[in-house]
Amino acid sequence: MSSRTLPLLFINLGGEMLYILDQRLRAQNIPADKAKKADWIEADRRRVMNDIITTMFNKKFLEELFKPQELYSKKALRTVFDRLAHASIMRLNQASMDKLYDLMTMAFKYQVLLCPRPKDILLVSFNHMDAIKDFVKDTPSILSQVDETYRQLIEIYTPLSSGEFQLIRQTLLIFFQDMHIRVSIFLKDKVQNSNGRFVLPTSGPVPHGTQIPGLIRIFSCTGEEVSRLQFSNGGNYTSALREGSLEMFGDRVIKLGTNMYSVSRPVETHMSGTSKNSSQHTKVNTAPNPLAKEELNLLARLMGGLEVKKPGNTESGFRVNLFATDEEEEEALISRPDELSYGVINIQATKDQQANAELAKIMGEFTEAEDQSPHASSKGDDLLAMMDGL
């Protein structure tokens, strides 16, 4: 469908990823295991954020990204984000990466589904871009990279018609179709139902350019209004808000795409959603991929621009866990009190001075093992092998 979809998908998912990582990297005071008190240094958080953002907005990478093209399969895009998440010294294992990706995709699905007009996807993207700029506001070199992408987004997307934006939105909705992972922050906010479907309000402001439903106007042949009839609209709507700014700066008005996480609203996934997730994923992945053949080449070209840093012996690589293993997760479910049972994502960022050298070595091994995880079969693996060879 729309060949203009990939940049928006990438930037918005990337933005969500950064929100989650930032929040987890900041949350030093909530280690699950009191014995392993996290000792996070602000400089490391910044380094991770800067490294990932630098990679995300790499010039060569974005050149490929902005070329008109079809969307990748879910698996291929996941590979891109695996790489991106590992663009710094931080390491995620398979389960944590799964969780991270689930959260990112469900957040953006929600934003695409709920954005009032299709064109508002651009405002959602700008909310992400604004936040990304804020993350790197102290690093001018990265900031200018991000600004360049901003200009490109404005140049390409602002002239598009409402119909073209709807096509982009429909393309994104096909990409996210049948994903019903439950996210606790959404469940708590009552914007997601227990079956994983999002709540669609029949109240609140109508989209910009839309009138509150309820009025029928009848005209004569000469164009004069001859009668006005009211009808009950079955909802509780209010007038449209003003249109958000589509410039580089300004008030976007809509809140979708802004950072919904904070220390008091941490990143969590819903426990019971997990087993469902995996079956859901399997179902999605077995769907025939319309682009299997061309995709491999495109992806290889795209990812040629993605540099991946591997923590060497001298570097202090560390792992971020969102879930360690299924066993651990099950154990947590049984042993944890109810109020904490949603808090299944824990960061165990260990950067112990003494254990440093050895840890780095072990983590290096972990990373290797994860990259060849038995789950990431077929194409994903081949691609990763290919990238390593580049």
Partner 1 sequence: MYHKEKSIQIKNSASALYNNLSVLRIAPRSLTYFTVVHANVVNMVSASWDGLNYSHRQLQSKEPNVATSTSLIMQAAWCVLPSRDLLVLTSQKGIQMYESDGSIMVYWHALDTPETPTAQAVFARGIAAVREKYICVGVSSGAMLVFDIPTKGSNITLAEVLEEHKESITDMASECSGSLECIADLVSADDAGNLCVWKSGEEFQLLNKIPGFDMCCSSVKLWKGTVVAGYGTGQIRLYEAVTGILHAEVSAHARWIYSLDIAPFSGLLLSAAEDSLVRVWHLTQTPETNSVEIAHMYNECVTDTQICGAKFCDGDGYAFAVTGYDLSEIIRYTQT
36: left (phi over 0), alpha (psi -120 to 50) or beta: beta
Asked whether position 214 contacts partner 1 by CB under 8 A, the answer is: yes
Cβ of residue 159: shortest distance to partner 1, in angstroms?
Answer: 11
What's 384's DSSP letter? H
Of these, 237, 261, 318, 323, which contacts partner 1 (CB under 8 A)? 237
Asked whether position 72 contacts partner 1 by CB under 8 A, the answer is: no
Site size toward partner 1 (CB under 8 A) is 61
Q: CB-wise, 114 or 386, nearer to partner 1? A: 114
Asked whether position 277 contacts partner 1 by CB under 8 A, the answer is: no
Asked whether position 369 contacts partner 1 by CB under 8 A, the answer is: no
SS3 343: strand
Asked whether position 297 contacts partner 1 by CB under 8 A, the answer is: no
Phi, psi of 261 (to 5 degrees): -95, 150
Asked whether position 360 contacts partner 1 by CB under 8 A, the answer is: no
Q: CB-wise, 109 or 270, nearer to partner 1? A: 109
Asked whether the beta carbons of 175 and 71 are under 8 A apart, the reply is: yes
Asked whether the beta carbons of 157 and 6 are under 8 A apart, the reply is: no
Cβ of residue 130: shortest distance to partner 1, in angstroms?
Answer: 25
Cβ of residue 170: shortest distance to partner 1, in angstroms?
Answer: 5
Of these, 209, 255, 275, 372, which contacts partner 1 (CB under 8 A)? 209
Asked whether position 281 contacts partner 1 by CB under 8 A, the answer is: no
Asked whether position 187 contacts partner 1 by CB under 8 A, the answer is: no
Burial 121-139 (b: 16+ CB within 10 A, else e): bbbbbbbbbbbbbebbeeb
The DSSP H or E segment spanning 226 is strand 225-230
Asked whether position 292 contacts partner 1 by CB under 8 A, the answer is: yes
Of these, 158, 194, 233, 377, which contacts partner 1 (CB under 8 A)? 233
Of these, 15, 118, 273, 311, which contacts partner 1 (CB under 8 A)? 118
CB proximity list for 37: less than 8 A, separation 6 or greater: 31
Asked whether position 189 contacts partner 1 by CB under 8 A, the answer is: no
Cβ of residue 222: shortest distance to partner 1, in angstroms?
Answer: 9
Asked whether the beta carbons of 307 and 83 are under 8 A apart, the reply is: no
Asked whether position 235 contacts partner 1 by CB under 8 A, the answer is: yes
**Where would I find the H helices in 304-377?**
326-335, 356-371
CB proximity list for 85: less than 8 A, separation 6 or greater: 17, 21, 52, 92, 97, 100
Q: Which of residues 4-63 bind partner 1 (CB under 8 A)?
A: 4
Of these, 158, 162, 325, 372, which contacts partner 1 (CB under 8 A)? 162
Residue spans of beta strands (DSSP E) within 29-184 = 90-91
Asked whether the beta carbons of 135 and 53 are under 8 A apart, the reply is: yes
Q: CB-wise, 3 or 275, nearer to partner 1? A: 3
Of these, 113, 131, 241, 248, which contacts partner 1 (CB under 8 A)? 113
Asked whether position 321 contacts partner 1 by CB under 8 A, the answer is: no
Cβ of residue 14: shortest distance to partner 1, in angstroms?
Answer: 22
Burial 164-186 (b: 16+ CB within 10 A, else e): ebbbbbebbeebbeebbbbbbbb
The one-letter amino acid at 343: G
Nearest Cα to 284, choosing from 170, 179, 183?
A: 179
Asked whether position 158 contacts partner 1 by CB under 8 A, the answer is: no
Nearest Cα to 212, choosing from 203, 221, 201, 224?
A: 203
What is the contact surface with partner 1 in residues (CB under 8 A)?
1-4, 67-70, 113, 116-118, 161-164, 166-167, 169-170, 173-174, 177-178, 180, 193, 197-200, 202, 206-207, 209-221, 223, 229, 231-235, 237, 287-288, 290-294
